Amino acid sequence: MNLLGAIKGYVANQKRLDPKVMARALPTRNAFVTEEPTPDGGVALKAPIEQTGRGIMPALARRSKLNPEKTFELEPVGAFIWKQCDGKTTFNTISKRLQSEYKLSRIEADASLGAFLQMLSQRRLITMMVDKK
């Protein structure tokens, strides 16, 4: 099998959330993450490496004298989204607010929001809570 075939197979086997389920998803901040505003209107997120790292990194962080926190800086649009990741506001609601605040189309807002929330989730800064109904 060539590389392109392997990639297509991998992508085809990935579980994707149904858009209707995603619309009801509730992004929820990791309780271990602290935040502080930045001068440009963004926000700096600080998270313990044990909460954000995978594999051997958390163990190495505990044994080393390195900074036990990892910092993530969000620009103003990211901060706007971050503030709404309260576990009560749905993906759909955040998308509608993005559309209104930044004059985006629904498709632009949904695509951007989905990618941004996925990145936050991969870094373990948020969890996407989904109602099983």
pLDDT in tens, 109-131: 999 999 999 999 988 999 988 87
Decide the pairing of beta strands 43-48 and 34-37. Answer: antiparallel
Q: What is the pLDDT of residues 39-93, one digit of tens each?
A: 999 999 999 876 555 566 666 656 666 667 889 999 999 999 999 999 999 999 9
Q: What is the pLDDT of residue 9?
A: 55
* Contact status, residue 57 vs residue 65, Cβ threshold 8 Å: no
pLDDT value of residue 42: 95
Q: What is the pLDDT of residue 70?
A: 87
Residues in contact with 78: Cβ distance below 8 Å, sequence separation at least 6, in sequence order: 42, 43, 116
Q: Could you list the beta-strand ranges (E) of the chain.
A: 26-29, 34-37, 43-48, 69-74, 126-129
- Is the Cβ–Cβ distance between 24 and 131 less than 8 Å? yes
Structure pTM?
0.76
Could you tell me the pLDDT band of residue 11, with boundaries at 50, 70 and 90?
Answer: very low
Instruction: Report the C-alpha gap between 65 and 33 in whole angstroms.
Output: 20
Split at pLDDT 50, 70, 90, the class of 20 is: confident
Confidence grade of residue 8 (pLDDT, cut at 50, 70, 90): low
pLDDT at 62: 61
pLDDT of residue 10: 47
